[in-house]
Amino acid sequence: MPRRSLSLPRPPSLLQCSTAAMLLPLLSLAFGAALSAAEILSLSQLNWTVQNQEGLIKVPAQVPSQVHLDLKNANVITEPLLGINDFTERWIVTDPAWIYTADLAPVLNQYAQGMNSSKALLVFYGLDTVATITVAGHPLAWVNNQFQEYVYDVSEYLASPLDNDTTLTVSFESAYLYGLNVSTRPDVESQIAIDFEWPGVREFVRKISSDFGWDWGPAFAPSGIFKPAYLIMLSEGVNSTALDSSPAAHPLLLSNAGGLFIEESSLEISKVGQTPIVRPDESADWVVNVTLALRSMHADPNPTLTVSVPELNVTSGPLSLASIPAASDASTFVSATFTIPSDVPQRWYPHNLGTPKLYNFTVTLSIAGLPPTSYTTRSGFRTVYLAQTPYSQEDVEQRGITPGDQWHFEVNGKTIYSMGSNVIPFDPFYSRISTDKVRWILESVVQSGQNMLRVWGGGIYQPSDELTGGYDFYSICDELGILVWSELGFSDASYPVNNFFLESIEREVRQNVRRVKKHPSNVQWAGGNEIEPALLLVNSTVGTLLPARYIDDFLLLFQDFLHDIVMQEQTSVAYTDCSTTNGVLSLDPYMLRLNNLTEGHIYGNAELYNYDSSQSFNYSTYPKARFVNEFGFHSMPSFYSWEEVLQSVDDFSFNSTVVMSRDHHPPALGLLWPNPLAPVGQGEMTVAVEQWLPTPSTSDSNQTFAQWCYSTQIFQSMYMMSEIAYYRRGSGRGENNLGALVWQLNDIWQGVSWSAIEYSGRWKVMQYGLSNIYSPVMIYPFWTPETETLEVAVTSDRWDTVTGTAQLTWYDWSGHALNTTSLAFSVPSLNSTTVFEAQGLDNVLPAGSKAEDVWMHLNLTAAADGQTVTHEQYFVPVSLANANLVDPQVKMTPGPDMTFTLSAQGGVAPFTWLDHPSGTVGYFADSTSGKPLNGFYLVPGMDRTVQFIQSVALSTVASPSPANFVVRSLWNNTHI
């Protein structure tokens, strides 16, 4: 597969604008904090309006914001997530333009006083998406990429307003109509993409793909100045009032002191000689690189930069930089590097394997004519390596590894098991996402034992801080010790490869890779989501009818173009073309394997979606893979989440029109509403519950609906736990599986989805299931009904051998213990051990018992990393739909500090579940161990006490009454 030239013909301009303007998509959101009015003005401090093209609607607006939110705040529309507003508010998307305007008169007056010695920069950290920018009557730029940062020198425009125009205007075109215009041009080649809702456009528009619809969310296709934006005044003099001996908390804030603006700042820590395709030398010195994009009012042929790490008492001393011109109309990149001995810093680890140690790095710039200025940024010392090369013959023969390629991560020289989930956008409207909400979800990740998140490529490049991104993501992952698999903004489509498109995405990718590389949490860049397998599937299905250009263009973009950009911008993490992928034939040069497969070998990574619930627990349907980066099954949100959006009592039904309208699986493939394919997705959940659980049906319609919601979550959790257990056990089998990332972590709205956490932050049953199955040492019953074989395995992700005792206890549904077996075990590093195996029901069940009448409680106690680890699981030899359950007569007794003691007065209560009241966000934890606990088997005589751990920041009810907490179990599916 030879690498291809990028000298492609350039199409005519889509609008009358310069090439530079095309490359400068404008992203604009104002930061709410009051900064120094003299040097840095947040555009949030201006008075804004937004109006449609005809001027029939004109209302006050905010920055950062998006049109839907400003219309909601002005009572033109109601909350977009209510009811069927995703349908009724479509008119906002198709209005030709929405125009944001602010009066710059106060700024112009201030600027006129010092314009001879100052420059003005207009900084947008994000515009959504296609917009024309006008300053004081002067056309400034046309932009069309949501994922870029843009900086403009507007000094001349502020100095000479055209026709006394004192406004700043950002006029947003309809991204949908723009996409239609592009896609229908005669010189634009057609592409392959799934039309989830708004059809035929997302592959042509550099905007969040899921804004146009996805199978788990709405299609609001919003527009607006969605990230912080600033007007920065650079003066030749020094603002003495802004001088401070302490370093600034962010590079942007250095502009307060006068004549310097840092447009981009990056820091990368690696090992001497490290490249992403070779295991780093763990004994080598650390290399610290700082790269800055500067605009300075003062020229200096010999500037210097000093980097210090105060906690380590380490300083680089002055490091020489390339010369810096006096220029405000373009940035100058400068870079400096120094080394730190390997053993000086403490290493950063994911939270489940060590301490995520971070250090403050102080960067000081010395430029002639300016006082030394410093800022502080945080990072950590770690190495990450993605193993993708073939297993050796020795591995095959001595370890029993199935031939093929490796595909796993190594951190600080040690192989890890990656356990986690996939992140989608936190809200349909980026501008209202809060750090508090994101932090809660990320803390929930840690509480559930996950060590890795995959940032899905159909969403947004997640931000690094509030000042430029509106909320924080990566820095919180650094702090909490969460590994992040990052993806470029491409998903489930083929994409154009003309120069117009490539120039835009090159700037997009370079900016985001440079920004993210300081974060020790980041472990790789993938080119996009599911594109390689999708094209290979289409190619194998359509055969020779599919033009070869689709594969050729895919290789051009994802094998060559994006790979080279990412590798040029950083050296510490790997690039892979796609999630999912068959891996590589070669890393140098980078050549994809595609369908060059050898039968019986394992390559790349895998995913699984099987909606035939009769096969959900058939292990032969699970992939034998090195790493499984997506797998899932959909479920309903809770009754409490439905209360947030349903507006009629008639809507509270499993198959009501409104509920079904919020099931986008399978997708509508267009604009038909309600989704004509929703009955398929609803039916899959229905059949799953009916096959595996008591079918919800009571005389109370609200209870029945609530039990249906709860039951779909139970099945989802059971299925995902089964898959995760299977994949984790594979760490000790031929596939040597070393990664399982469930789809998906979070919700974007209140509707049917694959999530573990609902839109408000409320945990689903699966989130507690993940807390269980991602235990560092786990026990699990693998049941094969066709052969009546039960195999109980203990699996460990620890780096050292783990020893302990497993206990298997049979109970009847009245809660009587029938027999108990205690088994000692020892599990090697990253491995699995079978502790019990039996075949035939007579050898599996307690003597004289029927399968419908009994169940097994499995638990273990192990010594790992100097601590005691416990874990429990349950085995039912038949479907719970056929089990002879007994009325559990569950009693809930409130205690101090939001604790609740649960006892079963009758029989066993499978999947005992506590719900916290509306308006509260939190989770339940075992009062003794502190581990998350909910959805458990409650046995007579074995009371459980849990505590409600509340998020004060997200809860609208600060002090909920214990009387408003609800307990349910599967018994309530059929009984009041």
| pLDDT tens-digit series, residues 802-853 | 999 999 999 999 999 999 999 999 999 999 999 999 999 999 999 999 999 9
Asked if the model's pLDDT at residue 944 lies above 60, the reply is yes
| Stretch 564-571: mean pLDDT | 97
Bridge partners, residue 854, by sequence? 812
| Stretch 746-758: mean pLDDT | 98
pLDDT of residue 260: 94
Using alpha carbons, select from 100, 98, 99, 103 the residue that is nearest to residue 45.
Answer: 103
pLDDT of residue 29: 30
pLDDT of residue 539: 78
pLDDT-derived band at 118 (thresholds 50, 70, 90) equals confident
Amino acid at 609: Y
pLDDT of residue 10: 31
Other beta carbons within 10 angstroms of residue 226's beta carbon come to 30
The CA distance from 232 to 37, in Å, is 9
| Stretch 394-412: mean pLDDT | 97
Asked if the model's pLDDT at residue 883 lies above 60, the reply is yes
The CA distance from 8 to 13, in Å, is 15
| Percent of the chain scoring above 90 in pLDDT | 91
Contacts of 20 (CB under 8 A, 6+ apart): none
pLDDT of residue 542: 57
| Stretch 644-665: mean pLDDT | 97
pLDDT of residue 5: 31
pLDDT of residue 19: 28
* Residue 530 among the catalytic residues: yes
Other beta carbons within 10 angstroms of residue 602's beta carbon come to 26
Using alpha carbons, select from 244, 250, 254 the residue that is nearest to residue 297.
Answer: 254
pLDDT of residue 27: 27
Helix (H) or strand (E) holding 715: helix 701-729
pLDDT per position as a tens digit, 607-616: 999 999 999 9
pLDDT-derived band at 4 (thresholds 50, 70, 90) equals very low
Amino acid at 330: A
| Contact assessment for residue 191 and residue 495, using Cβ atoms and an 8 Å cutoff | yes
For residues 15 and 614, which has the higher predicted lDDT (pLDDT)?
A: 614
Question: Is the link from the previous residue into 589 a cis peptide, with omega within 30 of 0?
Answer: yes
pLDDT per position as a tens digit, 120-146: 999 999 999 999 999 999 999 999 999
The CA distance from 947 to 969, in Å, is 18
For residues 63 and 237, which has the higher predicted lDDT (pLDDT)?
A: 63
pLDDT of residue 544: 53
pLDDT-derived band at 715 (thresholds 50, 70, 90) equals very high
pLDDT per position as a tens digit, 153-209: 999 999 999 999 999 999 999 999 999 999 999 989 999 999 999 999 999 999 999
Asked if the model's pLDDT at residue 713 lies above 70, the reply is yes
pLDDT of residue 117: 67
* Reduced 3-state DSSP string for 534-600: HHHHHHHHHHHHCCCHHHHHHHHHHHHHHHHHHHHHCCCCEEECCECCCCEEEECCEEECCCCCCCC
pLDDT-derived band at 903 (thresholds 50, 70, 90) equals very high
pLDDT of residue 256: 87
pLDDT of residue 14: 27
The CA distance from 972 to 693, in Å, is 11
pLDDT per position as a tens digit, 492-527: 999 999 999 999 999 999 999 999 999 999 999 999
Asked if the model's pLDDT at residue 311 lies above 50, the reply is yes
Using alpha carbons, select from 182, 154, 261, 155 the residue that is nearest to residue 13.
Answer: 182
pLDDT of residue 842: 93
pLDDT of residue 114: 63
pLDDT per position as a tens digit, 414-430: 999 999 999 999 999 99
From 89, 268, 530, 723, the catalytic residue = 530
pLDDT-derived band at 12 (thresholds 50, 70, 90) equals very low
The CA distance from 93 to 566, in Å, is 34
Q: pTM, whole model, 2 decimals?
A: 0.95
pLDDT of residue 540: 75
| Stretch 394-418: mean pLDDT | 97
| Stretch 359-368: mean pLDDT | 97
Using alpha carbons, select from 815, 853, 818, 822 the residue that is nearest to residue 942.
Answer: 815
Asked if the model's pLDDT at residue 111 lies above 90, the reply is no
What average pLDDT does the chain have?
Answer: 94
| Stretch 33-60: mean pLDDT | 83
Contacts of 618 (CB under 8 A, 6+ apart): none
pLDDT of residue 110: 77
Asked if the model's pLDDT at residue 777 lies above 60, the reply is yes
pLDDT per position as a tens digit, 471-497: 999 999 999 999 999 999 999 999 999
Helix axes 701-729 and 765-773, enclosed angle (nearest 10): 20
